[in-house]
Amino acid sequence: MRRFSWFNVTSLTFGFAFLYLPMVLLVIYSFNASKLVTVWAGFSTRWYGELLRDEQFMDAAWVTIRVALFSSTLATVLGTLAAVVMIRAGRFPGRTLFSGMIYAPLVMPEVITGLSLLLLFIGIGLDRGIFTVVLAHTTFAMCYVSVVVSSRLATFDTALEEAALDLGCSPFEAFRLVTLPIIAPAVISGWLLAFTLSLDDLVIASFTTGPSATTLPIQIFSSIRLGVSPQINALSSLLIGVVAIGVIAASLATKRRAVTQAREEQAAARVTG
Amino acid sequence: MRRFALIAVPYLWLLALFLVPFLIVLKISLSDIALSIPPYAPTLDLSAGWEGVRSFFAGLDFENFVFLTQDDLYWKAYLSSVWIAAVSTVITLLVGYPIAYGMARAAPEWRPTLLMLVILPFWTSFLIRVYSWMGILANEGFLNMVLGWFGIPPLQILATNTAVYIGIVYTYLPFMILPIYATLERMDESLLEAAEDLGCSRLTAFWLVTFPLSRGGVIAGCFLVFIPAIGEFVIPSLLGGSDTLMIGKVLWEEFFSNRDWPVASAVAIVLLLILIVPIVLFQRNEQKQREAA
């Protein structure tokens, strides 16, 4: 049945060209010596140099990394807890409200999340800065983490935990020694997701930050509002490069793990067979 | 006791940072704008006891919502957000379906790589993906340069609604491809052979067999694009023009430029009310998909 089909090849080629061409162009033009997009004035790394010397961008990058590290770690802890509650705690009063509060932020427009958190911070008189952005990012990222982790927990065999309890583990030890290692891949991808969501967020950070803490997306947004900027091309290329290397490395690692696992299983089959 | 603590931590966090803020928005949308800090009235004064609570509720009214219906700007912005989101969703479907189809029919050893290539843009900054189109669509941009080689006069695309459509289709395309791919990949291809044996042409077989079987994925993909596109702020403000009306942008300007917090809150509440219908439909579709699987 599998036939070579021109239609499929064409749609894949055009589809991936559409997805990747804009980013490829961005990277190419980041090495353009000229400020203008249409004029190619030769290869240059001038904009990268200017970017690295620009203190505003470097400060913003540092703020963003700190916010992302704190909020994604906090979100992973809270999101995993929330997932355990959703899947394991059974019935408790207010369960419907709880699951509603987990899913609602996923579909809530960012402008509304940002606005409501800002109004809360003003209402309780909290000074806006890195701390408030961390609180805001933790709140929406923990919902994503909890969705990722709870889908893994739902397929988890509770007999393993019960065996640990029978063998004398306390519930906490059973969770730490049995459950956590098994759901670890989901927890790690939840953390990565929370980290990138935080790195990426413009709208919620704009609402909840103060003048002391400008994040990278806010800085980028204010400099591209008026048009294309070669420094931003350089910055974008760096970010694209980091993501590409990270994702490719991660997928190679999973592939290698799959290969070793398959090999071990084969070896085991030979021994037992 | 331990179980109680386990539930309480995430529960209280979400109550304090999701539900309470939302109730504050609701309350401010019913307040009046005031020249004070914070810039709205009334504020709840618990020290005045019962009298304070009563005067607080007496001060609330639907004035801001009435105002939204009277000023053309708001209902036009709501309508145009829904329209822009709907048109972009249709275009995303037309672009995304063939890609998902091609992926599902590719050789099995290629599929993980293709899947990774679709997901990869997710991990790249949304802002940068939108920005990459600014250089392409600008009057002096890449597209007009290429058109110039063929002697075609330059097009004005940036700062129009067309650019907003392109931006939404580009950034939300993976949301459309992934659910459709998931349903197409699960499909039993012998059904197609059966249809062709029974005399269907390949095209009829597609319409009668493949497309209906992928309907769950198509519906899920459409909602995943449509729902967030309605409240979009970044795309219309970077790629759209000054006449591009979208409610996310209106809310932002109402809050940051006009500093009218009560009206901004009312805009947010109405936006949520509009979103409830597609969100409920989406949930129902997901439920059906889960039951079918």
Confidence band (pLDDT; 50, 70, 90) for A1? very low
How high does pLDDT run on average in chain B? 88
Of A8, A19, A104, the CB nearest to B105: A8
Read off the pLDDT of residues B210-253 as tens digits, 9 standing for 90 and up: 899 999 999 999 999 999 999 999 999 999 988 889 999 999 98
Can you give the residue ranges of every domain in chain B?
20-61, 68-292
Is the confidence at residue A3, as pLDDT, over 60? no
Chain A positions touching B258 (Cβ under 8 A) are none
Read off the pLDDT of residues A193-239 as tens digits, 9 standing for 90 and up: 999 999 999 999 999 998 888 999 999 999 888 778 888 999 999 98
Distance from the B221 Cα atom to the nearest Cα atom in chain A, whole angstroms: 14
Dist CA A15 CA B174 (whole Å): 11
Q: Which of A11, A29, A144 to mutate to test the interface with B (most CBs of B within 10 A)?
A: A11
Residue A79: its pLDDT value, please? 96
Query: CB–CB of B6 and A102 under 8 A?
Result: no
Distance from the B32 Cα atom to the nearest Cα atom in chain A, whole angstroms: 15
Distance from the A82 Cα atom to the nearest Cα atom in chain B, whole angstroms: 6
Give me the mean pLDDT over the B2-26 stretch: 90
Q: Do A219 and A235 meet the contact criterion of CB atoms below 8 Å apart?
A: no
Query: CB–CB of B25 and A8 under 8 A?
Result: no
Dist CA B55 CA A148 (whole Å): 46
Dist CA B203 CA A232 (whole Å): 46
Report phi then psi at B233, rounded to 5. Answer: -115, -45
Dist CA B68 CA B75 (whole Å): 7
Query: CB–CB of A22 and B136 under 8 A?
Result: yes
**CA-based torsion, B251, B254, B256, B262: positive or negative:** negative
Of A29, A116, A224, the CB nearest to B22: A116
Give the range among A87-96, A181-190, B57-66 with minimum mean pLDDT.
Answer: B57-66
Residue B43: its pLDDT value, please? 66
Query: CB–CB of B103 and A12 under 8 A?
Result: yes
Q: Do B246 and B236 meet the contact criterion of CB atoms below 8 Å apart?
A: yes
Is residue A112 left, alpha or beta, with left meaning phi > 0 and alpha meaning psi from -120 to 50?
alpha
Query: CB–CB of A18 and B173 under 8 A?
Result: yes
CATH architecture, domain B68-292: Orthogonal Bundle (1.10)
Residue A155: its pLDDT value, please? 85
Q: Which domains does chain A have, with CATH numbers?
A: 55-228 (1.10.3720.10)
How distant is the alpha carbon of residue B207 from its chain centre? Answer: 28
Residue in B closest to A198 by C-alpha: B125
Chain A positions touching B138 (Cβ under 8 A) are 37, 227-228
Give the type of residue at B287.
Q
Give the type of residue at B131.
Y
Read off the pLDDT of residues A73-83 as tens digits, 9 standing for 90 and up: 999 999 999 99
Read off the pLDDT of residues B20-57 as tens digits, 9 standing for 90 and up: 999 999 988 888 877 666 777 776 666 666 777 777 77
> For the purposes of burial, counting CB atoms within 10 Å of the CB of B15, is it exposed (0-12), middle (13-18) or buried (19 or more)?
middle
Q: Which of B4, B18, B259 to mutate to test the interface with A (most CBs of A within 10 A)?
A: B18
Chain B positions touching A146 (Cβ under 8 A) are 10
Chain B positions touching A207 (Cβ under 8 A) are 255
